[in-house]
Amino acid sequence: MTDLFSKIKAVTELDGIAGYEHKVRDYLRGKITPLVDDVETDGLGGIFGIKKSTADNAPRVMVAAHMDEVGFMVSDIKADGTFRVVGIGGWNPLVVSSQRFTLYTRDMRAIPVISGSVPPHFLRGANGGASLPKVEDIVFDGGFADKAEAESYGVRPGDIIVPQSETILTANGKNVISKAWDNRYGVLMVTELLENLKNEQLGNTLIAGANVQEEVGLRGAHVSTTKFDPEIFLAVDCSPAGDVYSDQGKVGDGTLIRFYDPGHVMLKDMRDFLLTTAEEAGIKYQYYCAKGGTDAGAAHLKNGGVPSTTIGVCARYIHSHQTLYAMDDFLQAQAYLQAIVKKLDRSTVDLIKNY
C-alpha cells in the first residue's frame, strides 16, 4: 500500500454530506493546524488555514475544496419500517437501487441500510422491463419490523444516509475505486499543498481549506469568499470523466484546464497564466469543457469580482458508490497547484487583473 493510496483511503472513507460535514472538518482541522498561522471557520462551517506572507502588499489567494459528498436524507418513515428519502446532491436514479448505505441518527448511531429494487419476477406484467424510478420513490430498508421499531433505534426524518463503500486499488495498482473522490480529492489537495509549502515563504497570503454545501448549490463558497475577500480564487474539485463515452476528460491524462462551465468562463489573462505555468512546470494537462459547476462559479461573482479557476482531475462514475480515478492525475494536479501558488505574487496577480 503506497503512502498516497493510504491518504486517499483515509479521506474517501470519511462520511459527510451537505450540512453534516463535521467528520471531514475535524479531519481537516487536525491536518492543517500545525501547518498554518491561523485557522478560521465561517458561519456555515467552512474551514480555512491562513499562511501569512511577509511580502509588502501581498495578494490574498484562496484555495478551496469542498467537504461534502452526495447522499440522502430521510424524508419519511413508513408504517412498515422502510424509509423514503430526498437526494442531497445530484443522483442518477439508476445507480441508487440495490446498494448499501449507512444511516446516521441524531446521536450519530450508524445503522446499515440498503436501497430497494424490484426483482424481475415482479415486473412480468410490464414485459419484464423497469421504468426509470424517481429518487423519492426508492425504498430504503434497514430491516425494521415497523415504524415503531425504526424509531426505537433513533431513526427520525432528517437523518442522513451516506454510501457505504470500501476504497480499493485496481489490479494494475494505478487507479483507485472509491466513493466521494468528489470532493475528497480537494480535501487531500489542500492538506498536501500546505504540507509541501510549510517551509516556503510565499509572495501571497494563502487561505487554504474547504467549503460546505457545494453539492446543493455552491452555498459555502458564497459565504467564505465574502468573509476572506481573496483577489484570486482557486477551486480544487473533481469532474466527471467522459473517456468511456468518447468525450473530454480522460483518466490518466493529467490535470484539467477547465476553460468553461455553465456557471463560469475563464478569463483570458487567467487562461494565459495557467497555460504558461503548466508548460514551464512540465505539468501533464488536458483541456476540459465542463457540463457542471464548481465553487468557482459562486466565488468569481463576489466582492466586486474575483478572478477564479478550478484545478481539477476527472474521475469515472462520480456521484455513485464506485468512482474510478488515477493516482498520477492527483500528483500532476498537486504539482500544478504548488507551481501556481508559488507564482502568485503582487506583480503576477496584477497582470491577471490587467483589464
C-alpha cell at 276: 504558461
Q: Which of 55-69, 119-133, 301-315 has the lowest mean pLDDT?
A: 119-133
Q: What is the pLDDT of residue 133?
A: 79
Whole-number mean pLDDT of the chain? 95
Task: Give the span between the Cα atoms of 299 and 307, in whole angstroms.
Answer: 9
Q: How confident is the model at residue 131 (pLDDT cuts 50, 70, 90)?
A: low
195 belongs to an annotated ligand binding site: no
Say yes or no to pLDDT of 307 above 70: yes
255-266, pLDDT tens digit by residue?
A: 999 999 999 999
Mean pLDDT for 58-79 is 98
214 is catalytic: yes
pTM comes to 0.95
192 belongs to an annotated ligand binding site: no
319 belongs to an annotated ligand binding site: yes
How many CB atoms are located within 10 Å of the residue 237 CB?
A: 25
Q: What is the pLDDT of residue 119?
A: 67
Proportion of the chain above pLDDT 90, given as a percent = 93
323-352, pLDDT tens digit by residue?
A: 999 999 999 999 999 999 999 999 999 999
Say yes or no to pLDDT of 129 above 90: no
Among the options 21, 69, 214, 231, which is catalytic? 214
91-126, pLDDT tens digit by residue?
A: 999 999 999 999 999 999 999 999 997 666 555 555
Q: In the chain, where are the structural domains located? A: 3-69+179-352, 71-163
Nearest to 48 by CA among 58, 34, 36, 60: 36
Say yes or no to pLDDT of 38 above 90: yes
Question: Which residue has cell 412480468?
Answer: 124
C-alpha cell at 297: 462559479
Q: What is the pLDDT of residue 117?
A: 78
* Better pLDDT: 5 or 133: 5
Say yes or no to pLDDT of 89 above 90: yes
Cβ–Cβ under 8 Å, residues 88 and 72: yes
- Please tell us whether the domain made up of 3-69+179-352 is placed in CATH 3.40.630.10: yes
What CATH architecture is 71-163?
Answer: Beta Barrel (2.40)
Mean pLDDT for 282-307 is 97
Q: What is the pLDDT of residue 101?
A: 98
Angle at 194 between CA 292 and CA 289, to 5 degrees: 20
Would you call the peptide bond into 204 cis, given omega within 30 degrees of 0 as the criterion?
no
CA 172 → CA 13, 137, 175, 325, 326, distances in Å? Answer: 21, 39, 7, 12, 11
Say yes or no to pLDDT of 127 above 70: no
Q: What is the pLDDT of residue 132?
A: 74
Q: How confident is the model at residue 71 (pLDDT cuts 50, 70, 90)?
A: very high
160-211, pLDDT tens digit by residue?
A: 999 999 999 999 999 999 999 999 999 999 999 999 999 999 999 999 999 9
